[in-house]
């Protein structure tokens, strides 16, 4: 019998929504023009991009669609925001504030800027992964040009008090950038009510194609382009536009706006059912992240005394795809920088598993996972030297 596959790794990426794909296809075929061309082919592509820009702007409540700049994804949007502001404001100051739990697409551009004379403050977080507002206030100096704090965390789902953060930034005359890649399309965002200068988003985390995203740049925000080339995107991002991708991003934003309320209800129900099942059936587990201020689809659980990698592999053998909190790309089992910053006990941190749900998941799938997990965990604990020491 073929193994039924259950995908619970939607914070890593999502499948493209069928309606998104069908909207994209003509732009690979009949409507293939270069949006910069003056003829019919070009103008069709140009118009499609403008329509997509409207849809993205609408989802996040941007005042004007001209504030949306298309990029190759969340990583480029973050790089453009951070390096672009640093370059534009370097005469004003050289200090940037971010947090310890950011995605590497924020942490690494910041680290890179340190090599060029910028100073970066990495704010700590509490046990739920939330920054301290007084600490943020105190960290702002005359030299501070940018605060970059993520809207919602990709590993544990914790949502930052972004409204309060935005107030502090505007009171102090400092730009605020937020990496909202995990928040856009998943929870309501209204930029008309928030004083945010720059916001990054990405299509492939919300049922759009990979390799396309956008940076919202509030009107009047000073920023320098980091790619030099043609005059695309009003001189803010050079390079021929990824027309099919941008059309896909627009469509996926339109669907997200329409379905969000319903999705939040369904995902919260499934997520909480999963946690209830796990915490009832398995001992020595811990929920990582804020109990309430959390993405509706994200559940990060630590299973004490065992390694997340082993759980992941065992679940994969049963057809269930999840991810661990650790950065195993280097081949070493480094515990996640997010859990570390949250002060999670290392014995818990190494056994962290992230379940991230999506629109295609069903209640039966959640029941199945709750069914098979206890056996996997007890099997792994039976061979864990740490667990033996306990008993």
Q: According to CB under 6 A, which residues from 71 to 90 bind ligand PLP?
A: 73-75
* Total number of residues that touch ligand PLP (CB under 6 A): 14
Q: How deeply is 346 buried, as exposed, middle or buried, from its count of CB atoms within 10 A (0-12, 13-18, 19+)?
A: exposed
Does position 202 bind ligand PLP by CB under 6 A? yes
Does position 300 bind ligand PLP by CB under 6 A? no
DSSP class of 72:
S
Token pair, residue 317, equals 């053998």
By beta carbon distance, the residue nearest ligand PLP is 74
Q: Which of 79, 154, 225, 324 binds ligand PLP (CB under 6 A)?
A: 154
Alpha carbon of 203 to those of 12, 52, 58, 185, 385: distances in Å?
Answer: 12, 12, 15, 9, 43
Does position 109 bind ligand PLP by CB under 6 A? no
Q: Which of 48, 105, 165, 369 binds ligand PLP (CB under 6 A)?
A: 105
Q: How many residues does the chain have?
A: 391
In angstroms, the CA 263 to CA 269 distance is 10
328 is catalytic: yes
The CA radius of gyration of the chain, in Å to the nearest whole number, is 22
Among residues 106, 65, 104, the alpha carbon closest in space to that of 253 is found at: 65
98 or 314, CB closer to ligand PLP? 98
Binding segment toward ligand PLP, per CB under 6 A, in 140-148, 175-183, 285-293, 367-375? 175-183
Binding segment toward ligand PLP, per CB under 6 A, in 107-115, 197-205, 308-316, 333-341? 197-205
Does position 177 bind ligand PLP by CB under 6 A? no
Q: How deeply is 260 buried, as exposed, middle or buried, from its count of CB atoms within 10 A (0-12, 13-18, 19+)?
A: middle
Chain contacts with ligand PLP (rule: CB under 6 A): 73-75, 103, 105, 150, 154, 179, 181-182, 202, 204-205, 213
């Amino acid at each position: 019998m073929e193994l039924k596959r259950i995908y619970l790794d939607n914070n890593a990426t999502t499948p493209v929504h069928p309606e998104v794909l069908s909207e994209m296809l003509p732009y690979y075929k009949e409507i293939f023009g270069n949006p910069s061309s003056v003829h019919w082919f070009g103008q069709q592509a140009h118009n499609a991009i403008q329509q997509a820009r409207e849809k993205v702007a609408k989802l996040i409540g941007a005042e004007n669609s001209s504030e949306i700049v298309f990029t190759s994804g969340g990583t480029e949007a973050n790089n453009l925001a951070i390096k672009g502001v640093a370059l534009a404001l370097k005469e004003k100051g050289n200090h940037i504030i971010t947090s310890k739990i950011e995605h590497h697409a924020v942490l690494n551009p910041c680290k890179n800027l340190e090599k060029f004379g910028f100073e970066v403050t990495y704010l700590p977080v509490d046990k739920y992964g939330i920054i301290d507002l007084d600490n943020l206030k105190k960290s702002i100096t005359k030299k501070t040009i940018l605060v970059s704090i993520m809207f919602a965390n990709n590993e544990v789902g914790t949502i930052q008090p972004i409204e309060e953060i935005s107030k502090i930034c505007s009171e102090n005359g400092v730009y605020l950038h937020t990496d909202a890649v995990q928040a856009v399309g998943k929870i309501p965002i209204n930029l008309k009510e928030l004083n945010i200068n720059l916001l990054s988003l990405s299509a492939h985390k919300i049922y759009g194609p990979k390799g396309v995203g956008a940076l919202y740049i509030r009107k009047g925000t000073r920023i320098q382009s980091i790619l030099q080339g043609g005059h695309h995107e009003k001189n803010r991002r050079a390079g021929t536009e990824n027309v099919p991708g941008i059309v896909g991003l627009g469509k996926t934003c339109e669907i997200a706006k329409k379905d969000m309320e319903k999705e939040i209800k369904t995902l919260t129900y499934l997520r909480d059912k999963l946690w209830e099942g796990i915490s009832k059936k398995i001992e020595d587990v811990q929920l990582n992240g804020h109990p309430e201020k959390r993405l509706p689809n994200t559940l990060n659980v630590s299973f004490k005394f065992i390694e997340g990698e082993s759980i992941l592999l065992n679940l994969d053998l049963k057809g269930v795809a999840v991810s661990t909190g650790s950065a195993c790309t280097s081949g070493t089992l480094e515990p996640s920088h997010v859990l570390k910053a949250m002060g999670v006990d290392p014995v818990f941190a190494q056994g962290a598993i992230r379940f991230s749900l999506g629109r295609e998941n069903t209640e039966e799938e959640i029941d199945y996972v709750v069914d098979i997990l206890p056996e996997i965990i007890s099997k792994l604990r039976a061979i864990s030297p740490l667990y033996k020491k306990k008993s």
